[in-house]
Structure 1
């Protein structure tokens, strides 16, 4: 069977294309809402406060990372249960995963709250990262948002495990459109503090997740969690994979989100706005690529469980071929980025062509690496990723400091540090995927 394209494989390919296409359409709507929200927030808060807000969102990503990979582990467990064609197994996997997600979410909030209350962490952030800008209650609201988003956002992983990965885009669209509407309200009432903005963002995130949960309960009543379906024996499978992936995610977060923190610390909060503008533009490319890969994750899981290796091999070949238009898109975006940012946020927020060419290289490297990272995640093989991620995470901050400060390359040094960090897995990942496909292909 591993060398044959079955009807099941063809159906899976159709689902991947449909979900990816639907997800891309939804995500473009989400990006449009974000693009409209950015100048509104810049006007409401000013560049200095807005730069701190962007750093706060990075802190949110840091906090939400400490889910210990439970959602991802549960996603793989649910996908394996779906491959077994046993609805009771799927319900058990959904119930068990959600239980552990909620436990970790509550624990995460309690530990983070204790750290902010009993240590000088908040004062240190305001003095060294926010550069004297008082975040007020915004930090606490962001903490609450991160923990609630993790607990409630588990539903997105459930949809993805059922090969409905467009749920991630649906959530993003709902959140960003609602947040945009709330920002218009804030402008009307002159709510300009970060605490007000953080509260509106919290409302948008929670409302979108609750809406998705309601959709799941309505569409999949036979999979909805029940207390009797909790299966303690699944804990090891969920947690072991989750913890391995947590290490990978931690390194990725070090690489990508500390750029904002280091920009604020080394170059001032205003530089974060310049960096983030470039990041948002190139995220249009990574968004499409990640949507496709996110759709394939659980499809890889189910195909690997059913020994449909020919489908996996052909899918990887198509993804590699797709890198040509990805690279071309990155170069075009770099060429027009200075003009786009000038028209969008003003010439003071635009950087040089060289800076955007570096962003193009980072984006292309990320997309290339994600092809093999998502495949390995889907089949549960994360040892190589863990090894390369640890090395990448360790070298990213010193490499970024070296390029930014010692070589005096300024904001471009942030991207050079990221490129150095990404290089290892971009070589080892493809070799590992090739080895696994050859080993299992008949």
Structure 2
């Protein structure tokens, strides 16, 4: 095992990943930790950063903002023992490519910022060269081991406790119905309008109590996933007791009677505080709705339950397998210390990014799609021009092939997806004009 305090740097960009990284490192007080935000179109604004750091020991002074091109040099000067990469798959791969240039080489840890059932193919494919991949429940541990085996990925998996799931006391007597809005679900405009109608009806049914729509970004800010139709627009005409909130989820839950969500990790935060939950099943229970994790929890409820505020507490048996395991089971930091010791002794070889099909053009493509307008290289422009039609052809082939069969998105009985992502995010995201940070 290592001796002394390890130097840890989290490298992140988008809101949910910054929140996860800060809370994860806050759970390791014996480490000297910093956060680096790499400039991409998804990088948090100053307001989003403040919200993401809320409740942790980190403040603005613990955060460094860098352009992508300065990252390898900064890491070489700072000489961290460990780098935690907190970002979507393409971002993680891009950062790992920069770490290949860093000497001495740190141990590389990756992970996902919340509920990760179903375990998705891309989560493993993009992070398979990391030294340690973090999961947050025994169920996720089983799912990702199974997925890595099926993808022939040599992935070391470490069990952490979801940092938002630490039990905490809260003031009694909350009266708010808090709705955790999500960009990915429900997906269609019709379904999102139906959710808006349910929230409006819930507010009208109890005019003396608030319905709080908890949003993660203001107009002009980006978040991890594209919100194609915001609830601000859908609820422009609303009762006075139906309000929007941009405060941290922890603060919103402090005055909550109960939480409503389709599949947000906010449900785990609420459970940790003793706040009852309704996992809205109006649109079904499926991998597509990202809510199969709640099977057996006793939390599912329909629109009528939301309007009547019939919130539920989870079944005890569900808790131990889903994010509320014994803290002693979470040995990820022991794994990190062991990996650092091996690296210092020369026993841990570097897991460098391999040369993939497409060579330098592919590297330029992957850099461009992560950095967007932050990448002004000629190679990035050329790669985008060449890659766009190729990508279109690949997506057509995927649609024709479908997502059917065992362990696909259509297979609701399994916790993994060996088939490609069900939804495609916009290839390029623009950095909002006038957003600070």
Normalised by the shorter chain, which TM-score bucket? under 0.3
Report the TM-score when normalising by structure 2. Answer: 0.25
Which structure: greater helix fraction? Answer: 1
Report the TM-score when normalising by structure 1. Answer: 0.24
Which structure: greater strand fraction? Answer: 2
